[in-house]
Structure 1
Amino acid sequence: MQSWFSDAKLGIFIHYGIYAVDGIAESWSFYNGQVTYDEYMKQLDGFTASQYDPEAWADLFVRAGARYSVLTTKHHDGVALWDTQANDLSVVKKTPAARDLLTPWTEAIRSRGLKVGYYFSQLDWSHPDYATVRPARHREDADDQLNAYGYARRGKEDPARWEKFLRFHRAQLKELCTQFGKIDLLWFDGDWERDPEQFRMKELRDELHDMQPDVVLNSRMLGYGDYATPEQGQPVVAPNGPWEFCVTINDNWGYFKGDHNHKSVRQIVRICAECFGMGGNVLLDIGPHADGSLQPEQVDRLEGLGRWMHKHGEAIYGSRAGLPGGLFYGPSTLSADGKSLYLFFFDQPVDELVVRGVRGKVLWASIVGTGESLGHYRRGSADWNEVPGNLYIDFKDRQIDPDCTVIKLEFESPVETVLAAGRT
């Protein structure tokens, strides 16, 4: 696992594909029968990418405060954004766009100093050899319990055809890993319809590291990934190890016609602060229009988030999880050396902020972004008591940030937290 990942904190996810033509759900719309497969694939004829400007996208992501980005190279519908030679189903060969969209995006992201991430669906609901086997756990299920796009019909499994699919699957991944330079992150999806043995996941992991030795792999590899990827439901408790919360700005991953339910900048900032405070990353998703232009509401949210991220960067990038729950009523982070504690809060305090259970001498308290110093004092402990006194920070009559204010407490030595009942 590369250290850059946990230090980066914010990534921008991009769901871009033919589903934006009609503004319907990516892949799932035909899988779940909302449209027919043929109706879904008619969108190939309307995918122009005529306003596609990955340079402008990359500049926006930098302004948003992101340190990496992930693009859907191929979703579950099987439509590739690059000129794959493994089959003909790509925007290069089948759409008016008629060009490789992955190379210019990769170059733009890399040139801004951002880490490059490729989303890739392990499954492929368009490939004729994909739905030819079942995992062991579903071997005896009735046909009407399993979708025909994903599973062979009962008693009709064809392992030889599955081997053909695996060769195709590996061929596309080899293209991604050998034709576009260094890849920092492979963001897999769609692993749930097979067993790890069927996908030969351990072997795949080794192959990927042979081609891209420093690549980070997300968790959707049936136990062979590097970090957890909770989706849409914000964790209340941090997952074990490195993790990243992937979340949409509105209610859908790709552009979805009529979805104007965009989170506010303040809501997005709160999600970020809470995830950063638990040591996680946020992968925030946007869904471009079919022509490649971005939704104005989503541009607005990224610009607003960027204002806050850049102002408070020292409390975010390279930080680690802050205080345990109950010691401060808001998120918090710690600097890498543990000597700076950052407190995040969202509303105007009536008088003082209180931190409990923290030992150590405070050298300085200030507001991040302005440097304005704050008064502070301890009260409520004794030499013989194992529980440190409460630390009070005076914030009376100070100006808060409209989205989230951050205070920095600089300690003489690394912060030590105490979770104890005290003498009884």
Structure 2
Amino acid sequence: MLRLILITLSCYYTQTDTIPLLPTAETLEQREARLQWWRDAKFGLFIHWGPVSIKGTEISWSRIGHPHDHPGMESVPAEEYDNLYKQFNPVKFNADAWMQLAKEAGMKYVVFVAKHHDGFSMWHTKLRPEYSIKATPFQRDICKEIANSAHKYGLKLGWYYSTRDWTHPDYLVGDNRKYDEFYRGQVEELLSQYGRVDILWFDHVAGNWHHYDFKSLFEMMYRLQPGIIVNNRVARFIRPTEDKPTPEIEALTKGDFDTPEQHIGNFQNTRPWESCITITECPDGGGWSYRPECRTRSAKECIQMLVQCVTGDGNLLLNVGPMPTGEIAEEQMAVLKEIGTWLQKYGESIYATRGGPYLNGKWGGATYSGNNIYLHILQSLNNSITLPPLKSKILEITVLTGEQVEIKQTDKNLHIEFPKGQINPIDTIIKLVLDKPASEEMINGKPIPIPNELR
């Protein structure tokens, strides 16, 4: 038995006598190398799904009696909500269809909700099997099928795991030791049973610092998946207490990237970030799980959200909520495919770029790679835009989206004019080839400030 376990673990890491390097011990170069694929990827698929899709209400938050905010979302009695799994039988679920759709949309990674705040596990967990997908009529291990398909289609794999659990009997009871052991055990299952895992996307834990053994958690995670990337929410909502954590624990729980939710983050190139936004827009601000009454955003809206994230030096994690049958709604699939068509044409201005050298704003923004700058113009005043000058010489100008533009560079400004008002309804993309690396246009590592009227 021990031999089998060691063989299995060798799939994820080469065993040594020491724990693989924790992020707190990394050099800047090692950290950048670990995050490089993610920063180049730019665009990922978020999937919230579970028995609650039967009701078509918000995942977790629609359960009446939950102990936290968003009271306006409550609509399903706890007893009914907690027993929905007995009816959950998504016979049309096909992981390959989902991953093919993600690829077609131009996404490079997928983050699947393995467990949300309601405590229901979407895999064959041994730690609470009675409230997991194994106890449903469907029975199949959803996470296993998602993982196998993601690997098959060359998508990086991420698990979302809620560290809060409103239905677990030991959650925030006493010193919370039993629950701490439980959730670390579940995380270990997710990182050891499904091949390579690239991202762990935690969400909101409550209580005090001494309720959790974060050091053991991170040592386990990086032992099983040495190159894993972790977000900044593993210790979010921890209450300040006198027994403050060590600087190492504070640094570990800060994670690798920030996670603005349901809005575009500000320009930030000093620390990685990713906006997570739903493809549906609901009046109550939700829309993570299947909500048929909510509006599906247009492809134009989603593309512009992606552009705003990338020009701000961030990523976009776009969420869909599949139906109770296991299918993604037709209108959502159509939007994703339209985004993919756009990215096939203009992906060079998105993937493997960095935000800058101009500060983004209402006008749009810029990305750069090598000697190339890509201006993304989302709107203009009076059919023209005047930007601060560049230090480098412009060798070549190409309007990737095909509009007629006139560009004049002086020592005072860079003036762009649309003589026939031909601004692309989604994004006018202008490629500037410079005689020097575009990164040299940054001012001490910061983007070039822009005029007030363009902010």
- Return the TM-score normalized by structure 2: 0.78
- Which shifted more, 41-50 or 347-356? 347-356
Shift of 1:166: 1.8
Q: Which amino acid aligns with 2:335?
A: R
Distance 2:380 2:261 in 1: 31
1:211-257 deviations in Å (ceiling 9; x for gaps): 11010001112251111001013224438500000001113100024
Q: State the match for 1:50 in structure 2.
A: 91
Shift of 1:122: 0.7
The one of 317, 332, 343 aligned to 2:375: 343
Q: Which secondary structure state, in structure 2, belongs to the residue aligned with residue 29 of structure 1?
A: coil
Note if 1:203 corresponds to 2:216.
Answer: yes
Note if 1:407 corresponds to 2:437.
Answer: no
Alpha carbon RMSD of aligned pairs, Å?
2.4
Q: Which amino acid aligns with 1:77?
A: D
Q: State the match for 1:242 in structure 2.
A: 272
Structure 1 residues 364 and 293, CA gap change in structure 2 (3 angstroms): same
Q: State the match for 1:218 in structure 2.
A: 231
Note if 1:3 corresponds to 2:36.
Answer: yes
Confirm or deny: 8 A CA contact 1:76 1:121 kept in the other structure: yes
Shift of 1:76: 1.1
Q: Which amino acid aligns with 1:11?
A: G
Confirm or deny: 8 A CA contact 2:91 2:326 kept in the other structure: yes
Q: State the match for 2:386 in structure 1.
A: 354
Q: Which runs of 5+ in 2 are unaligned?
A: 1-33, 236-249, 451-455
Confirm or deny: 8 A CA contact 2:266 2:312 kept in the other structure: no
Larger radius of gyration: 1
Distance 2:362 2:302 in 1: 21
Shift of 1:309: 1.8
Structure 1 residues 93 and 113, CA gap change in structure 2 (3 angstroms): closer
Confirm or deny: 8 A CA contact 1:358 1:417 kept in the other structure: no
1:79-131 deviations in Å (ceiling 9; x for gaps): 11111111223443321111111111111112111110100111211111113
The one of 166, 190, 204 aligned to 1:176: 190
Q: Which amino acid aligns with 2:368?
A: L
Q: Which secondary structure state, in structure 2, belongs to the residue aligned with residue 235 of structure 1?
A: coil
Q: Which secondary structure state, in structure 2, belongs to the residue aligned with residue 333 of structure 1?
A: strand
Shift of 1:390: 1.5
Q: State the match for 2:115 in structure 1.
A: 74
Shift of 1:311: 1.3
The one of 307, 329, 338 aligned to 1:304: 338
Q: Which secondary structure state, in structure 1, belongs to the residue aligned with residue 364 of structure 2?
A: coil
The one of 268, 274, 289 aligned to 1:254: 289
Distance 1:348 1:64 in 2: 28
Q: State the match for 1:155 in structure 2.
A: none
Distance 2:361 2:76 in 1: 51
Shift of 1:399: 5.7
1:139-171 deviations in Å (ceiling 9; x for gaps): xxxxxxxxxxxxxxxxxxx23xx2222221121
Shift of 1:327: 9.6
Q: State the match for 2:127 in structure 1.
A: 86
Task: Indicate the percent of aligned positions where both proteins have the same amino acid.
Answer: 32
Confirm or deny: 8 A CA contact 2:383 2:421 kept in the other structure: no
Structure 1 residues 284 and 312, CA gap change in structure 2 (3 angstroms): same
Confirm or deny: 8 A CA contact 2:359 2:366 kept in the other structure: no
Q: Which secondary structure state, in structure 1, belongs to the residue aligned with residue 296 of structure 2?
A: coil
Q: Which amino acid aligns with 1:130?
A: Y
Q: Which amino acid aligns with 2:288?
A: W
The one of 28, 36, 45 aligned to 1:12: 45
- Return the TM-score normalized by structure 1: 0.84
